[in-house]
Amino acid sequence: MSEKKDALEKILSGERISCKVKTKRGVFVINYPLPRDLRKIEVNVARMLDGMPESSFSKGQIASFRAYATLDEVIVEAPEWWNNLESAEDCPDDDLITKVYARYLRLYKAVQESITKSGFNGSSGIGKSKNKDEIMAD
């Protein structure tokens, strides 16, 4: 049996780390975001502010904007009804949004902890994309 690659090594070799979230509304698959994905999320949060200062909105509303923008970026598989929405912002089920976003936050934290503990030392030749299109794909 081959030695299992750690999270950092997986990400640097072009693999995406995902998890399934089972809900009463269906199964969602979310990807761990790369830094470029995090930038897109923040740009989308800024778009949701519509040019208004952040102070124009409650902290709860800003948190909702961040959850919607994040889910729009990290959900890669979802039930058909979800795929018919233009954005997570169009979903009226606050409990569902909260559950899927909370699961994303747990995934993000777990992967970051794994990266921190990573024994990867850069000597395996990864870091150069073998399949750039696969990594860049939505």
pLDDT at 126: 54
Q: Is residue 123 pLDDT above 70, yes or no?
A: no
Q: Is residue 128 pLDDT above 70, yes or no?
A: no
Q: Is residue 138 pLDDT above 60, yes or no?
A: no
User: Quick one: how far is CA 80 from the chain centroid?
Assistant: 19
Nearest to 119 by CA among 19, 2, 1, 3: 3
- DSSP annotation of 91 reads -
Write out pLDDT tens, residues 26-85: 999 999 999 999 999 999 999 999 999 999 999 999 999 999 999 999 999 999 999 999
Percent of the chain with pLDDT over 70: 86
How does residue 2 score in pLDDT terms, banded at 50, 70 and 90?
very low
pTM for the predicted model, two decimal places: 0.82
Torsion over CA: 30, 19, 77, 133 (sign) = positive
Q: What DSSP string runs through 113-134? A: HHHHH----S-SS-SS-S-HHH
Which residues, in sequence order, are bridge partners of residue 31? 18
pLDDT at 49: 96
Alpha-carbon distance of 99 to 122, in angstroms, equals: 36
Are the CB atoms for 104 and 74 separated by under 8 Å?
A: yes
pLDDT at 124: 59
Alpha-carbon distance of 37 to 34, in angstroms, equals: 5
pLDDT at 35: 95
More confident residue, 4 or 14: 14
